[in-house]
């Protein structure tokens, strides 16, 4: 085999090796992109779930707070009515005693 044929053979092997390496690199890049996309989608899904849970928790707490507020208003109203009734009773008692 002549030097030129050996050179051509070596060059052909280098090209083949380079082509194989490029194909392997492309496959690794594609696998990396696919893994990154899957990770990003998992993160987005997790964020959606957390957002939904926060919204549900917030809605539940708003309902509880509304119920507490309503109970407090009802208790305040009852207390005010009791005070008004007691004052009215004292007035009536005072009037009755002044008549006697």
pLDDT tens digits, one per residue of 1-59: 688 888 888 999 999 999 999 999 999 999 999 999 999 999 999 999 999 999 999 99
Got the DSSP string for 16-61?
HHHHHHHHHHHHHHHHHHHHHHHHHHHHHHHHHHHHHHHHHHHHHH
More confident residue, 82 or 4: 82
Q: Where are the domains of the chain?
A: 1-100
pLDDT at residue number 96: 80
Q: What local confidence, expressed as pLDDT, does residue 100 receive?
A: 66
Contacts of 1 (CB under 8 A, 6+ apart): 9
**pLDDT score of 83 more than 70:** yes
Residue labelled with tokens 């509880």: 64
C-alpha dihedral, 6 to 10 to 13 to 15, nearest 10° = -130
């Amino acid at each position: 085999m002549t030097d030129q044929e050996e050179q051509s053979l070596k060059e052909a092997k280098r090209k083949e090796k380079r082509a194989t390496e490029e194909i392997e690199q492309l496959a690794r890049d594609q696998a990396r992109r696919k893994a990154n996309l899957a990770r990003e989608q998992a993160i987005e899904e997790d964020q959606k779930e957390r957002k939904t849970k926060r919204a549900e928790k917030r809605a539940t707490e708003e309902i509880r707070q509304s119920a507490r507020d309503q109970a407090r208003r009802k208790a305040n109203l009852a207390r005010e009515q009791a005070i008004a009734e007691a004052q009215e009773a004292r007035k009536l008692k005072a009037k009755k005693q002044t008549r006697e």
